[in-house]
């Protein structure tokens, strides 16, 4: 009787609340990431994976802990509880039994339902050749451009710097995936301003990527050829997959997932190129990899070096548009190696990690004092040990790392649920001012794990039905200088969010955030600028109303106040209205966004809906309007009529425009546009075949 009640309650939830690929929390995480890096991420591999799991759900009766980690929808405690539940009671009989798993609340189940299933145990094809048939093939074609023409495309005969290619952005991707056990594909990307089948890009795209990835071949757990990413520990020495920092998802503080994964995104920097393999049996697992990469870098003459050159700057943007950028394209070779060894028990796991870099030319730090401890020399290495341990309702994890110059870094965290209605997280980090690493991404205030110590504490409380409070406090300090910070400094970051779901179709949240960070004084009369604290405050309220299973309305209002080191104050305001429609044949969305800020320091970031696998986050500052319209049409029936059965497809068109008030030009440098409007469009065709 109890099992029937559980099944009925979860069934009602799944019917009343349609699955959405992008959750509100994930949108906030992307906004925070864009705020830190001041650019939107190109890594769409996570959403490619979620889209695949939506079509081919994870079988809970055979899913490993690592596979559940890669969903990034469960906490380590929830995963541990599920594995224990399955080991104790055996395979699940029905999907709706998951509500009986300790710690799996209704909110978690709603997020999981689109990506999981319960079925008989499945064994991968023993004959490797059979994996090349019966999988899913997908092809993506995307073009995007501006309607206006920036000044950089009008200077080709002036002798000034200019963009050598067209303003179109192009992306092509072809992939094959067999039950997540065999994946291979190729992609090509051209950024705006880059040449295409001419000049320095006679072979078409500026960037090509090829990957071949296999899982579960006996003792071989994973085999990667071509382009792949490596993730180890808590990101102190290596983490190349997309990872988030602080957000309203308080429990998402631990880096977790497989060590080897295929590189399927359009990113041009953060990956390895070569081969890697993971072997394992019973309670141990070992990974080794080798990579030969070419980077774009600024090389500077030096008579003291053997080849007369050293690396002044490693370029990470992937842009090769102007003559100077083309001159630095792929001019630095690097051979990288590394490995990982893991052992695990019933409720614990430990690992040893290492990575080595061998550069063609030596790296050298700049003359700036804040850059004094940057990576230097032709060789660099990092080493670490990581651990995790679960006891009752407490999960502990961490990593201890060192670089080749014996500078240490530590990250240690804790996730616990002292009550079914309460979750608590803590993360302590202490990273030496001279510690350096490449391709790393830990849970830190800085974008890279270096020169930082701090303590983060997060709290989730569900005091009543339909109500939830998320809060965190983060205190951090920087023992050495930073860019635009001329001395040791410290700061703090607070956030409180109250969420209410009065019904299954309505969600309201209100969020307040206060952040104090150090910054040099903007007083130009001082010969040496003092370091003082800046204060940034934000208040946001959002209402989402699901009228029915097809219509969704959203309204957001946000206020920002920024106080600089010299007590100059900027204010910002933004408000938008969203209307989204979703049906099997047509999906559409429109937004009207008004913003009014006193400057760039009071800018406001906002996530926008776009074509599949594209998730733009725009920065709004000055005064004006931002609007867009997004339409996706299902053309599967047309494709099947002319090509054959088994095909699916969609066409998406998006138009977006900035319209500024009182401005005669937009942008800076080569991206200056005359006038007060900036309009861009995206057209994408996505085809799949099973």
For residues 403-408, average pLDDT = 97
For residues 90-115, average pLDDT = 87
What is the DSSP pairing of strand 531-546 with strand 665-666?
Answer: unpaired
For residues 525-529, average pLDDT = 64
Q: What integer best gives the mean pLDDT of the chain?
A: 90
The pLDDT value recorded for residue 5 is: 40
Sign of dihedral through CA atoms 156, 159, 162, 165? positive
Read off the pLDDT band of 24 (50, 70, 90).
low
For residues 408-421, average pLDDT = 95
Return the residue matching tokens 């490596």: 230
The pLDDT value recorded for residue 488 is: 94
CA dist 211 and 267 (Å) reads: 13
Of 59-73, 331-345, 470-484, 660-674, the one with minimum mean pLDDT is: 59-73
Q: In which element (H, E) is residue 65 found?
A: helix 65-71
Q: State the burial class of residue 307 (Cβ atoms within 10 Å of its Cβ: 0-12, 13-18, 19+).
A: exposed
Is a pLDDT exceeding 50 seen at residue 562?
yes
Copy the structure tokens of residue 270.
Answer: 């953060």
Of 46-60, 208-222, 394-408, the one with minimum mean pLDDT is: 46-60
The pLDDT value recorded for residue 527 is: 58
For residues 504-522, average pLDDT = 92
CA dist 271 and 153 (Å) reads: 31
CA dist 157 and 440 (Å) reads: 42
The pLDDT value recorded for residue 381 is: 97
The pLDDT value recorded for residue 15 is: 31
Task: Please indicate whether residue 529 or residue 583 has the higher confidence score (pLDDT).
Answer: 583
Is a pLDDT exceeding 70 seen at residue 44?
yes
Read off the pLDDT band of 300 (50, 70, 90).
very high
Read off the pLDDT band of 8 (50, 70, 90).
very low
The pLDDT value recorded for residue 11 is: 33
Read off the pLDDT band of 157 (50, 70, 90).
low
The most confident of the ranges 154-158, 277-281, 564-568 is 277-281
| pLDDT tens per residue across span 239-288 | 999 898 898 889 999 999 999 999 999 899 999 999 999 999 989 999 99
For residue 622, which phi and psi values (nearest 5 degrees)? 70, -145
Q: What are the C-alpha distances in Å from 17 to residues 58, 114, 464, 617? A: 20, 11, 20, 26
Is a pLDDT exceeding 70 seen at residue 451?
yes
The pLDDT value recorded for residue 10 is: 35
How far from each other are the two terminal CA atoms of the chain, in whole angstroms? 40
Is a pLDDT exceeding 70 seen at residue 22?
no
What percentage of residues in the chain have a pLDDT greater than 70?
94
Is a pLDDT exceeding 80 seen at residue 522?
no
For residues 97-102, average pLDDT = 89
Give, in degrees to the nearest 5, the angle at Cα 682 between 677 and 687: 175
The pLDDT value recorded for residue 16 is: 34
């Amino acid at each position: 009787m109890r099992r029937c009640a559980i099944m009925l309650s979860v069934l009602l939830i799944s019917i009343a609340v349609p699955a959405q690929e992008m959750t509100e929390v994930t949108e906030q995480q992307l906004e925070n990431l864009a705020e830190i890096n001041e650019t939107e991420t190109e890594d769409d591999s996570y959403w490619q994976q979620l889209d695949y799991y939506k079509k081919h759900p994870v079988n809970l009766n055979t899913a490993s802990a690592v596979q559940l980690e890669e969903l990034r929808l469960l906490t380590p405690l929830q995963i541990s509880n599920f594995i224990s539940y399955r080991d104790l009671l055996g395979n699940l009989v029905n999907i709706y039994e998951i509500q009986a798993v300790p710690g799996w609340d209704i909110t978690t189940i709603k997020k999981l339902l689109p990506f999981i299933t319960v079925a008989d145990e499945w064994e991968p094809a023993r004959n490797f050749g059979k994996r090349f048939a019966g999988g899913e093939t997908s092809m993506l074609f995307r073009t995007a451009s501006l309607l206006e023409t920036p000044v950089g495309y009008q200077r080709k005969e002036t002798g000034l710097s200019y963009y050598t290619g067209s303003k179109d952005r192009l992306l092509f991707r072809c992939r094959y995936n067999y039950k997540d056990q065999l994946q291979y594909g190729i992609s090509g990307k051209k950024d705006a301003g880059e040449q295409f089948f001419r000049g320095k890009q006679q072979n078409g795209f500026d960037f090509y990527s090829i990957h071949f990835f296999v899982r579960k071949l006996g003792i071989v757990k994973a085999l990667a050829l071509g382009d792949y990413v490596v993730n180890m520990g808590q990101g102190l020495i290596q983490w190349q997959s997309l990872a988030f920092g602080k957000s309203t998802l308080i429990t998402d503080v631990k880096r977790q997932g497989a060590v080897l994964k295929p590189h399927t995104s359009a990113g041009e920097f953060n990956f390895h190129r070569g081969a890697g393999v993971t072997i394992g049996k019973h309670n141990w697992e070992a990974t080794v990899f080798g990579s030969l990469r070419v980077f774009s870098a600024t090389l500077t003459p030096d008579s003291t070096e053997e080849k007369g050159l050293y690396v002044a700057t490693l370029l990470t943007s992937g842009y090769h548009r102007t003559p100077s950028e083309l001159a630095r394209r792929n001019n630095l070779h690097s051979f990288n190696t590394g490995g990982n060894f893991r052992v695990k028990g019933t409720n614990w796991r430990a690992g040893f990690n290492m990575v080595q870099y061998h550069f063609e030319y030596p790296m050298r730090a700049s003359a700036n004092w804040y850059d004094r401890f940057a990576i230097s020399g032709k060789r660099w290495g990092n080493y670490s040990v990581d651990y995790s341990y679960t006891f009752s309702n407490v999960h502990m994890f961490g990593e201890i790392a060192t670089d080749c110059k014996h500078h240490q870094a530590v990250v240690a965290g804790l996730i616990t649920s002292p009550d079914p209605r309460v979750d608590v997280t803590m993360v302590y980090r202490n990273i030496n001012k001279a510690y350096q690493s490449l391709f790393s991404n830990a849970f830190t205030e800085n974008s890279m794990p270096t020169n930082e110590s701090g303590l983060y504490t997060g709290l989730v409380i569900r005091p009543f039905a339909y109500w939830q409070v998320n809060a965190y406090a983060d205190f951090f300090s920087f023992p050495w200088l930073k860019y635009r910070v001329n001395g040791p400094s410290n700061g703090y970051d607070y956030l409180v969010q109250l969420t209410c779901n009065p019904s299954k179709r309505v969600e309201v949240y209100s969020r307040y955030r206060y952040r104090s960070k150090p910054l040099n004084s903007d007083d130009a009369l001082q010969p040496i600028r003092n370091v003082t604290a800046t204060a940034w405050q934000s208040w946001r309220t959002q209402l989402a109303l699901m009228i029915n299973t097809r219509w969704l309305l959203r309204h957001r209002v946000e206020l920002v106040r920024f106080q600089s080191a010299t007590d100059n104050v900027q204010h910002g305001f933004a408000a938008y209205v969203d209307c989204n429609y979703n049906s099997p044949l047509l999906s559409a969305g429109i937004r009207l966004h008004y913003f009014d800020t006193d400057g760039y320091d009071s800018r406001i970031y906002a996530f926008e809906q776009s074509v599949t696998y594209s998730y733009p986050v725009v920065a709004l500052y000055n005064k004006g309007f931002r609007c867009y319209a997004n339409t996706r049409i299902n053309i599967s029936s047309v494709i099947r009529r002319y090509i054959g059965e088994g095909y699916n497809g969609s066409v998406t068109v998006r138009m977006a425009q900035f319209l500024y008030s009182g401005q005669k030009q937009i942008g800076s440098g080569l991206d200056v546009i005359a006038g007060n409007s900036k309009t861009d469009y995206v057209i994408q065709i996505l085809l799949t075949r099973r």
